Amino acid sequence: MKENQMMDFQNDWKLITVFFSAENPCSSCASTQVNDCILHNLEKLKSVLDFLYRTVPKAFVNLVDSTELTTSSFACQDYSNTSNSDMYQCTCASGHSTLDDNILRWSYQDAWEKLLESEKYDQKDDFTVVPQPSLQEVNLLLGLGRDGFITTSKTQLEALENYYTFMAVGLWNNMLEPVGQKQPYDVKKVLQVRCPSQENPYLFTYRNSKYSSSLETSNTEEASQERIYGTNIPCVDRGPSDTVPVSVHNLKPADIRVIAALGDSLTAGNGAASKPHDVLDVLTQYRGVSWSVGGNENISTVTTLANILREFNPSLIGYSLGTGKQTTANASFNQAVAGDRSEDVPAQVRSLVNRMKNDTRVNLETDWKIITLFIGGNDLCKFCDNPERYSPENYTYNLQTALDMLHEEVPRAFVNLVTLLSIASLRELHTSQNSTCPKLLMRILCPCVLNAKDNSNELKKLIYFNRRYQERTRQLVESGRYDTRDDFTVVMQPFLTNVNMPKTQEGLPDSSYFAPDCFHFSQKSHSQAARALWNNMLEPLGEKTDNQQMEDEIVLKCPNEAEPFLRTYKNSNYTYPNQTQNYGSQLLCEDRSPSSPPATSVHLLKPADVKVIAALGDSLTAGTGISSDHLLDLGTEYRGLSWSIGGDVSLQNVTTLPNIFREFNVEIVGYSTGTGNENSSSAFLNQAVPGAQAEHLPAQARNLLRLMKTDSRINFSGDWKLITVQIGGNDLCNYCKDPDHYSAVNFIRRIQETLDILHKEVPKALVSLVEVMDLLPLRQLFVDTQVQCPTYMADYLCSCVLTGEENSSNLTMVREATKAYQRGIQTLVESGRYDTHENFTVVIQPFLQNPKIPLGQDGRPDLSYFSPDCFHPSQKGHSQFAKALWNAVLQPVDQKADSFDLMADIVLNCPTQNKPFLGTYKNSNYTYPTVGPTNEPIENWGSDLSCSEQTPSSRVPTSVHELQPADIKVIGALGDSLTTAVGAEATDLQTDWRGLSWSIGGDGTLETQTTLPNILKKFNPNLIGFSTGSSKETAGFNVAERGATARNMSAQAHELVELMRSSSKINFKEDWKLITVLVGGNDLCQYCLDKETYSVKKYVKHLQDTLDIFYKELPRGFVNIVEILEISGLRQITASSPGCALTAKNVCPCFLTPEENSSELQEIKRVNRDFQAEALQLINSGRYEGREDFAVVMQPFFRNTLLPLDSNGEPDLSFFAADCFHFSARGYAEMAMALWNNMMEPVGEKQTYNNFTHDRSKLKCPKPEKPFLSTLRNSGFRDSDPNLEKTEPSVPYWAVIVAAVAGVLVGSLLIWAVSRRRAKRHQHMTDTEKNIKMTSM
């Protein structure tokens, strides 16, 4: 600054920002050692500020804590003197927790805040230092990969740019906030740049903020915590049972010999005995005074559950002493881990069980044990960051997993499951004006509780989650899951359920019940919690205290002669209440044994033989909305409750197919639990995806295959597997939007591809293929206005079924498609394709063919069977689905029910002595019906067209945007051998069959050969310019040449213009002309031989030169640019035939020669995509929109062409010529149909794939309300008035480019945001563009 000539060092005001990090490696060490390191770091910061204070005049210094922005966590480094790097190095090596990190960071902040509050740097009028909060809860360099932040370097850079923006605005805004009122900020809320106000025009300092230092506050509050927290035991009878009891329901306190505990920092005892204000000491785990397991001193000085029990049995073992982490000897059987969440408890159980087994003092089989589990605070403190991960369902599942382990591995155990407290009450202490609590630290420790605004949705959701944690914990215990043995039980101790914030006599929050961080319990609270827990243990079920107030005097209760036992449901004569949402079932089957010897045939498979269960499908199987009680929760996937694959709780409470199978084989694996998407670990082998269609099933099957092969719990080759597949709802919901794509032929082909994968790759499997559900009955829920269903969501949920009139064409189409889907599946399975060996079969379960909607007493649909959207089933509905599926699985093939009444009282069937196996065609003695004679061979590739309006415009249009098909007088074409129709006669590759060319051929009629001219001749029989025959003389205006590349197009354009200009048959100026251009295949095929000549840049330049010629010289022209096809699919075709491979490699070496996954192949694929994208950008750039009588339109049907397959799933070569590169007459006919349909479809809704299926009725007709060939403008992407150039367009042209290049899903969302009036049309665009994922050609 002194050397800079642009500034006056002495007189210019300077703003200097100092970033520092509260880094420290000592988080797991003793607090004294940590304190030394913090002081060392503070001295380094102080030296920097001292230097600035001494040497820089007129300076405002921002001090920003950048700890959250660093990649290392608390690394104590001395950057100025590397020789002293070990000076303050920690000598301890054990790990540290998030709790350690947060407290250390706060301690460092607290230290430097006190330094600044001392006014050390406010002695001069021209210098100050002001602390400014920084960006919170984010790591810029590592990101949050699990949540999708940092995935690629590009994403990383974009994330960094976003974070830097937030940092800049946040820093500026805080500079305008008074000291003491500054707030940290995060990336979740968009920040607005603030302005200085007239009242406060200055940057805020300590002085002009009138800030009162906390150093001046009184420190007289709080009595010393050094008081004694002992208790008097008033109990007379302290003796054990006469003999060691064998039942947990006859257990006296003195019978307990082992005590243990699991949980988090509240059980670990963090800060329990810390002195007031010593926040750093909260890192110390005072396990010896922990409420549920501490054993310091004795009951006269330290009240804990262990010390109470020691008064009954002085030989008690397992209690913790002193301080230390769970790994120390002092911890004993206190295996709670600071910072742990419910998902970590199973690991604690494993550690506890191992310690018990290895402790020579413990007889695991005969010693009675009491184990207290208290967990969940950290889940709630973080739930807002990941509501799915910390959902009540996942919380309960984690508890269930831990309790299941104890139930299975620990005999003679009484487990206290302490209900989670109402954590929102912590907000009272945080907001109290009179407390000296470290409020920033409190927010760091529990942001989701303390950062939420009063009455906000975030706070309401916290309270809802908290209650659901408590309710589902109760439901888990009351399910009876842990009352199956006489020597084990789990008892819920609810004393904290409705606990309130303890108050002083003045009615203010009493911080003496808390450790110095005002988050953890002080010893005062530990003592009260121990008393309350003890009393809960002696209170009978149904009468337990659930609102213990900590400030009340708690007198210890005693066992008495009448009630001497620890209370359980049984000795309390307590019957678990029937839960309103208990959808369990009874299974009365006597024979639940597996086959002996083990089954070797899928047709001899008993339920107990099934070791692995899996499922594929859509939202029905993913469990969308099963337990939702409001629409906003419909994004939750309750996989643990899913009818065909869920495994939550047990059959007594939740009826699902896996829970039924677990009654036969408790070791079955694969079922899903809790909530989450298909990639979550709890999903396991439930690979269903909400929104999935049949086209997505093969990918699900491959994912399932990968999971089964790699999971250590599964013997892939040896275990019998049951795989349930159900799909088709989303296909039917979108059928009316694109009948071709969702045709029965395509649907069955995708099902076949999925089953083929399973048949080929999965040994020992029975695939249960559930019939496509008839969705039409669901209309009852949306057409009856008296039914309280969200009718406004009908279009979103399933527009083709739930909207429209009862007799509309859309419903007729869906009704016919449903039947066609069902018939097609039956034909596929009954072909015997999947019955080629004894260890695999596919069985259709047809009960969803004819579902019956449940009706209430008022005759209206009973909504209790549905989730809030009235479309997905609720848990009640899923239970019925599961029962029907189980019964179907057992039924013989020819006796399966094909209808389903949701309200029926479905009793679970049992295998019988005569029919003990899962039903297959073979063990049902069922013979597949013989396949009827095949259809007659197709004689031609013509089409039928029955458009009601085929007349020209009433007057010759002057605008290309009002051009009807019948207005076209002249047709022409440019291109290469695809346009000369090489190979149209499949075996003849030497002849140009121009008369059969898809875009310009005119041989025959539309009824015998589908070409664009033959279609147009239906509208204008006097069309001029089409080719006939195979000679050059009859080529008409087809100037394409075999072997042509993009650089030949301008010459062809000149030739075409001159031919038209000189023709006596046309009026060059007045006649409307249609020209189709397709080129680029030869450029791509030769790209690797000369990358400069065939570069993307050159390709687009040649295309531009060609269009410039037409734009300049051709009046009244409509130009189709057909997007170059994705050539990589040719590799699959050539691979299917040795002869193809040899011929095609000579035709297209750059695509067909490279090895699979080679860099050469990846490069040519990228170039292919770049050809498409750059050409699209040129067309939509606006370059050719200055004339009213001229338009260029991209027709994208080749972008993602589906590879045609035959009935065996192999490439169908009937679409190709002998060289497997050019098309046959059949293939050219498909191109003509796709081109015509593209011309009818608005820009933004054009089909971007070509469906190779023979259907004479695929051709679309012009719409009566808009009978024109589609252009950008008449599709709504330009202003109708071409002269309004300065007017903001209704939708900018770049929206079209983005929509097509980036994928129409993104594009449709972008366009929807800009122009909602076309939302319906863009929904169709979204649906059709999903096919990018399909096999491409």
Contact 779, 735 (CB under 8 A): no
Coil, helix or strand for 985? coil
Scan for tokens 């209790």, then name that residue. 864
- Which residue in 249, 520, 741, 759 is the catalytic one? 520
Distances (CA, A) of 711 to 482, 685, 725, 728: 28, 10, 21, 29
DSSP string, 25-74: S-TTS-HHHHHHHHHHHHHHHHHHHHHHHHH-SSEEEEEEE-GGG-SSSS
- Which residue in 101, 379, 618, 1219 is the catalytic one? 379
Q: Give exposure, 315-330, as e/b (b: 16+ Cβ within 10 Å).
A: ebbbbbbbbbbbebeb
Among this protein's residues, is 712 annotated catalytic? no
CA gyration radius for the chain?
38
DSSP string, 835-849: -SSTTEEEEEE-GGG
Q: How far apart are CA 979 and CA 1077, in angstroms?
A: 9
Among this protein's residues, is 977 annotated catalytic? no
Instruction: Tell me which residue of 382, 447, 379, 369 sits closest to 412, measured CA to CA.
Output: 369
Q: How far apart are CA 289 and CA 231, in angstroms?
A: 13
Contact 1020, 968 (CB under 8 A): yes
- CB-neighbour burial class of residue 762 (10 A; exposed 0-12, middle 13-18, buried 19+): buried
Q: How far apart are CA 839 and CA 841, in angstroms?
A: 7
**Sheet strands (E) in 650-794:** 720-726, 765-770
Contact 68, 26 (CB under 8 A): no
The runs of H, that is alpha helices, within 219-320 are 265-268, 305-310
Q: How far apart are CA 644 and CA 882, in angstroms?
A: 6
Q: What are phi and psi of 1200, to 5 degrees?
A: -135, 65
Give the sign of the dihedral formed by CA 1044, CA 1050, CA 1051, CA 1057: positive
Coil, helix or strand for 723? strand
Give the sign of the dihedral formed by CA 1000, CA 1001, CA 1007, CA 1008: negative
Give the sign of the dihedral formed by CA 781, CA 784, CA 785, CA 786: negative
The runs of H, that is alpha helices, within 743-896 are 744-761, 780-783, 794-802, 809-829, 875-890
Coil, helix or strand for 937? coil
The CA angle 1258-1263-1267, to the nearest 5 degrees, is 115
Tokens of 32: 């004294």
Q: What is the largest CA-CA distance in the chain?
A: 123
Among this protein's residues, is 552 annotated catalytic? no
Contact 23, 72 (CB under 8 A): yes
- Which residue in 107, 265, 997, 1336 is the catalytic one? 265
Scan for tokens 């009162």, then name that residue. 212
The CA angle 1212-1146-987, to the nearest 5 degrees, is 45
Q: How far apart are CA 778 and CA 854, in angstroms?
A: 10
Q: How far apart are CA 1194 and CA 1180, in angstroms?
A: 8
Contact 1140, 1077 (CB under 8 A): no
Distances (CA, A) of 130 to 408, 1197, 1292, 1313: 59, 62, 47, 43
The residues that are catalytic are 265, 379, 520
